[in-house]
Amino acid sequence: MSDLLRLLKLFRPYWLWMAGSIALSLASVLANVGLMAVSGWFITAMALAGLAGVSMNYFTPAALIRAFAIVRTVGRYGERVISHEATFRLLAELRTWFYRRIEPLAPAGLAKAHSGDVHARLSSDIDRLELVFLRFFAPVTVAALASLVVVAVLFAWHPQIAASQAVLLALAGIALPVLVAKAGGAPSERLTHQGAEMTTKLVDMLDGLGTLQAHGFDAAHAARIEALTCGMIAEETRLSRLSGLSTAGVGLATNMALFAAIALAVPAVRSGALAPADLAMVALLAMASFEAIGPLPLAAQSLGGTLASARRIFALADGAPPVAVPARPAPLPLNAADAALLSFRGVGLTYPGAARPALCDIDLDLMPGTRTGLLGASGSGKSSLVNLALRFWPPETGRISLSGTDVADLDPEDVRRQISAVSQHAHLFTASIAENLRVAAPDAPLGKLEEACRIAQVHDFIAAQPDGYDTLVGANGLKLSGGEARRIAVARALLKEAPILLLDEPGEGLDRATETAMLEALFDATGERAVLYITHRPVALERMHALLLMERSRIVDRRAAPQMG
């Protein structure tokens, strides 16, 4: 219930849209009830007048019938337009809210959540929340209000019919949905989790389809998906049966209401307590009022799954960001020529659940205009230094500072603005080369993109493409070779005007000659930037001002390099 209340609180900015949609829906339901009742009365009264050979005023009921029909049609149309507008606005708001909540969690806070799972939460789970308003909140409110009006109107004609009507409405509108919610809650919740698991597995499978095929594991993976599909079909079948039963239940209650109204009205007509023409009116009014009750069992049935989606969304959104944003971030410090732009002092890091620390007691200074080479075996902790500098992870011990100010006092976004990085797994978006480059410098003219790509030794390749810089790179840069993608990532890092440049294996995937040419051009262009160059291979190390060697999470050797320019 607290999840439902929390959702409704999120919907608060759209209460006017929701109120409008509910008002129109109520008008439409009541217009239908009025239409049926007045039509019943009118036809009977006309027949009786005909039999008795007397005249009657048919203008007023005919006008009423027309009015009800118009309100019914216009109300239904308006309600559909407004309720869908309200729903789409709510969904847009929810998606933005969720994205804003999970953005500070990335990447460390999302490490445990598989990308397919985050995708499922962002798309299908949020989509399912539309049901909260459209299929739950709105129908429940309309049914409650419409039932009150109908019972009150019936009470004026015949209190016993009103009482029987109230009992049947309560049975179909409260007892039946409660039963359905009990029976359908668990399957509906299971279906939500299975749907999310399916998205996760499918995304994972599509990402690794080539690997699965190469290892002949695609059939096993497909079998797992088939098993999951069978499970989902079983739950869907259970829910469909339940839905059929509940629809039958509402139908039964509707017909019982009709028969109860007739059974009670006939003696009343005989005794003169009720006018003969009112019999048809009362009976049809009783029957039509069940239109509002119809959607309730389905609403109750899907509530379990919808709330499971809400819980999945809140569970991720409520995660504490791994790197806290200070309540009052310090202003960005000015860069002093004689102070380290980026400094590590006694820094240590152990990843959650890791058996051993990734970094121990790291001291490091990156001065303006200097280049520092960092060498070390695989797994020695080099990339973890970049993770800490970019504030993706907080250091466990020690202090990292930017121009003398502890980064813990700064907004992580401000810190990242000072750093340009080529990370080990640099991502290329499903867009053109130019768009990928402009991620780092949105306003950069083409000339600037070309300049950076010339340095990264990738301009000639791009220029040779039929679409040049507008060439689409495919999902994750799939249409490019590893080396081409790497060089585009290097060019992108160069385009960002940040005083600190972190290069994590920039030459990965390149042949020796291209790597050397790229690094030479790159180091010629770094100017007053402070550069950290992480590498396995002894390429362009003579361009470094200092060399550090890492082994098993520690810097074990440091020396000034005989740099040449």
Ligand X SMILES: Nc1ncnc2c1ncn2[C@@H]1O[C@H](COP(=O)(O)OP(=O)(O)OP(=O)(O)O)[C@@H](O)[C@H]1O
CA dist 361 → 178, 267, 509 (Å) = 61, 95, 31
Considering only residues 416 through 445, tell me which ones interact with ligand X, judged by CB under 6 A: 424
CB of 208 to ligand X, least distance (A): 19
What would the x/- binding string for ligand X be over residues 34 to 63, using CB under 6 A? ------------------------------
CB of 377 to ligand X, least distance (A): 7
Cα angle vertex 216, ends 211, 222, to 5°?
A: 85
Q: Which is nearer to ligand X, 343 or 380 (CB)?
A: 380
Please state, in angstroms and rounded to a whole number, the distance separating the CA atoms of residues 419 and 427: 17
Please state, in angstroms and rounded to a whole number, the distance separating the CA atoms of residues 13 and 94: 11
Q: In the 3-class helix/strand/coil scheme, how is 461-511 assigned residue by residue?
A: HHHCCCCHHHCECCHHHCCCCHHHHHHHHHHHHHHCCCCEEEEECCCCCCC
Considering only residues 86 through 125, tell me which ones interact with ligand X, judged by CB under 6 A: 111
Q: Find the part of the chain contacting ligand X (CB under 6 A) among 294-302, 373-381, 453-461, 514-522.
A: 373-381
Site for ligand X contains 486 (CB under 6 A): no
The residues, any chain, with a CB within 8 Å of residue 118's CB and separated by 6 or more, are: 102, 110, 316
Please state, in angstroms and rounded to a whole number, the distance separating the CA atoms of residues 407 and 438: 27
Q: Which residues pair with 362 in a beta bridge?
A: 347
CB of 403 to ligand X, least distance (A): 25
Q: Is residue 51 within a helix (H) or strand (E), and if so which, with residue range?
A: helix 15-52
Q: Which residues pair with 172 in a beta bridge?
A: none
Please state, in angstroms and rounded to a whole number, the distance separating the CA atoms of residues 518 and 380: 25
Q: What does the block give as tokens for 517?
A: 């040419």
CB of 365 to ligand X, least distance (A): 20
Q: Which is nearer to ligand X, 320 or 354 (CB)?
A: 354
Site for ligand X contains 538 (CB under 6 A): no
Q: Find the part of the chain contacting ligand X (CB under 6 A) among 83-91, 266-274, 378-386, 482-490.
A: 378-386
CB of 424 to ligand X, least distance (A): 6
CB of 510 to ligand X, least distance (A): 16
Q: Which is nearer to ligand X, 124 or 424 (CB)?
A: 424
CB of 354 to ligand X, least distance (A): 5
Q: Find the part of the chain contacting ligand X (CB under 6 A) among 85-93, 171-179, 360-368, 381-389.
A: 381-389
Is residue 158 within 8 Å of residue 268, measured between CB atoms? yes
Q: Which is nearer to ligand X, 192 or 384 (CB)?
A: 384
Using CB under 6 A, pick the residue from 21, 380, 418, 423 that binds ligand X.
380
User: CA 366 from chain center: how many Å?
Assistant: 39
Q: Which is nearer to ligand X, 53 or 352 (CB)?
A: 352
Using CB under 6 A, pick the residue from 379, 404, 538, 562 that binds ligand X.
379
What would the x/- binding string for ligand X be over residues 318 to 357, using CB under 6 A? ---------------------------------x--x---
Using CB under 6 A, pick the residue from 358, 449, 531, 555 that binds ligand X.
358
Using CB under 6 A, pick the residue from 21, 147, 383, 423 that binds ligand X.
383
Residue 478's Cβ-side half-sphere holds a number of Cα atoms within 13 Å equal to: 9
Q: Which is nearer to ligand X, 154 or 502 (CB)?
A: 502
Q: Which is nearer to ligand X, 379 or 404 (CB)?
A: 379
Using CB under 6 A, pick the residue from 173, 368, 376, 483 that binds ligand X.
376
Please state, in angstroms and rounded to a whole number, the distance separating the CA atoms of residues 384 and 68: 70
Size of the site for ligand X (CB under 6 A): 13
- Pairing of β 397-402 and β 342-349: antiparallel
CB of 137 to ligand X, least distance (A): 41
Using CB under 6 A, pick the residue from 139, 185, 368, 381 that binds ligand X.
381
The candidate with the shortest Cα–Cα distance to 340, out of 476, 500, 185, 498, is: 500
Using CB under 6 A, pick the residue from 378, 443, 513, 560 that binds ligand X.
378
Amino acid 204 reads D
- Pairing of β 500-504 and β 405-406: unpaired
Q: Exposed, middle or buried, 184 (CB in 10 Å: 0-12/13-18/19+)?
A: buried
Please state, in angstroms and rounded to a whole number, the distance separating the CA atoms of residues 15 and 21: 10
Site for ligand X contains 309 (CB under 6 A): no
Is residue 35 within 8 Å of residue 157, measured between CB atoms? no
Q: Which is nearer to ligand X, 253 or 388 (CB)?
A: 388
Using CB under 6 A, pick the residue from 121, 382, 438, 459 that binds ligand X.
382
Please state, in angstroms and rounded to a whole number, the distance separating the CA atoms of residues 381 and 347: 12
CB of 214 to ligand X, least distance (A): 23
Q: Find the part of the chain contacting ligand X (CB under 6 A) among 112-120, 124-132, 296-304, 377-385.
A: 377-385
Q: Exposed, middle or buried, 504 (CB in 10 Å: 0-12/13-18/19+)?
A: buried
Q: What does the block give as tokens for 341?
A: 């732009």
Residues of the shown chain interacting with ligand X in the complex, contacts defined by CB under 6 A: 111, 351, 354, 358, 376, 378-384, 424
